Amino acid sequence: MNRKPLIGVPACARMMGEHPFHVVGDKYVRAVSDGAGGMPLLIPALGTALDMEEVTARLDGLLVTGSKSNVEPHRYGGAPSEPGTMHDPDRDDTTLPLIRAALEMGVPLLGICRGFQELNVALGGTLHQSVHSIPGYDDHREDKQAPLTVQYGPAHTVRLAPGGVLAGLAGGAAEVRVNSLHGQGIDRLADGLLVEATAQDGLVEAVRVAGAPAFALAVQWHPEWRFWENPLSAALLRTFGAAAAERAHRRVV
């Protein structure tokens, strides 16, 4: 019997008024259900209260979303953040071990924006906290005063690694234009990650996990945004979904 693959989507911890909530953006849920053809399962940001191996064993895929919060710098040995920086320690306590468990168990993984950064940190890499403040790098942040269609519109070109997964999904194209809504970025690339795309200023924009038994790729941009209008975004989600469906089929058989 065919069934939709069960794809985990880790939540962020947020205060709404006086009450704490676990939240996931609708665009990520729809990217799983409509773009990847999966059944989204929202994973609460409970950190060590979750048995990560037990959770992961029940999944056919894991999509790690973007977020307004930054990974806490002590997670990768970084300097303290600037005052006022938004963090989400409960999410960090959840996603970092969840990513490692997914890779160890061969669960297909797709990381987006913060999820891209979390993959690097989970495997031992480091981050720039403010890419725009480092000489030689461009400002990769969005204009928060602009309409969402502008914020998520094409912002810059990335060069695709020849022979990489993304280059294949892009029909062999050498470059594509992507959106850009991030302040953090990869500093030292974790061992075991291979570069899939770089921005014109040299910043790493996409990676895959070398030797992973299943699909394991992450991008700094936001392919979930109106993915049906972007051939590469649509192809990326379909490919991730197909990998999750393959795992689901094997688990049923």
Rounded to the nearest 10 degrees, how much is the dihedral formed by the CA atoms of 235, 240, 241, 247? 150
Q: Which of 128, 140, 182, 222 is catalytic?
A: 222
- Is 113 designated active site? yes
| 136 conformational bin, left if phi > 0, alpha if psi -120 to 50, beta if neither | left
Residues whose CB is less than 8 angstroms from the CB of residue 71 and which lie 6 or more positions away in sequence, other chains included: 87, 92, 114, 117, 118, 121, 127, 184
Q: Which of 72, 196, 205, 224 is catalytic?
A: 224
- Is 12 designated active site? no
- Is 246 designated active site? no
Orientation angle between helical segments 89-105 and 114-122, nearest 10 degrees = 70
Q: Which of 12, 72, 113, 182 is catalytic?
A: 113
What's the rounded Cα separation, in Å, for the pair 64 and 110? 6
**Structure tokens that stand for 178 in this block:** 């992507």
What CA–CA distances, in Å, run from 166 to 19, 72, 144, 215?
41, 29, 28, 12
Active-site positions read 113, 222, 224
